[in-house]
Amino acid sequence: MTSPLLEQLIDALRVLPGVGQKSAQRMAYHVLERDRAGGERLAAALSSAVENIRHCVRCRDFSESEVCTTCASASRDAHLLCAVESPADRLAIEQATGYRGLYFVLQGRLSPLDGIGPRELGLDVLASRLAEGEVQELIIATNPTVEGEATAHYLAQLARQHKVRPSRLAHGVPLGGELEYVDRGTLSHAFGSRSEMAE
């Protein structure tokens, strides 16, 4: 390599997920050859994001202010609270559905072996929020994995303790999928949970 700074840049790019040595090289060359202004913009955006983005004290999602724009918004329905594992899950629900309630981002799932218990997921914050009495339904949207299901059960208990109705996203055959390729567990669940068709 002709330049130590270039080596450092290629090395630094590898912190990004899914970027190995070859892609990092390609990215570094691209920025230097074709888009130096974009590179400067990216450097500024990165350092300002790392410096200023913290967690919202209400929902634990990323936020620059103490309370994020969603939690601070008067147009959201404060009776509904949706618990998700990650900011990416929150974003997926926000983009796909017409949901107008609020969110609570666990930033993980219960995993005792990894030392992730209720404290790490901010469930004390969630409990005091449910105790406020405004939330009527807790929509539990953790992932349908073993750990996600365990977390869902725990959250449902917590909700019932505070007289809040827990609900869970429906499981079943994905739209546009073919039955032949749906896994057994999902198919069996969908078969068991069949519903009567409206006329």
Q: How many of the chain's residues bind its own copies (CB under 8 A)? A: 55
Structure tokens at 53: 């983005």
Buried b (16+ CB within 10 A) or exposed e, 8-40: ebbeebeeeeeeeeeebeebbeebeeeeeeebe
Q: Judged by CB, which is closer to its own copies: 93, or 182?
A: 93
Q: Is 114 in the site for its own copies (CB under 8 A)?
A: no
Nearest one of 130, 138, 83, 77 to 105, comparing CA atoms: 83
Contact set for its own copies, span 141-180 (CB under 8 A): none
Give the span between the Cα atoms of 30 and 36, in whole angstroms. 9
Which x/- pattern over 67-96 shows residues binding its own copies (rule: CB under 8 A)? -xxx---------------xxx--x-----
Q: In angstroms, what is the minimal distance from the CB of 183 to its own copies?
A: 23
Contact set for its own copies, span 22-61 (CB under 8 A): 23, 25-33, 35-36, 38-50, 52-53, 56, 61
Residue 65, CA distances (Å) to 41, 54, 198 in order = 22, 8, 47
Segment interacting with its own copies (CB under 8 A) among 64-72, 145-153, 155-163, 173-181? 64-72
Tell how strand 165-168 and strand 54-55 pair up: unpaired
Block residue for tokens 């309630």: 101
Residues at the contact surface with its own copies, assessed by CB under 8 A: 1-6, 8-9, 11-13, 15-18, 23, 25-33, 35-36, 38-50, 52-53, 56, 61-64, 68-70, 86-88, 91, 107
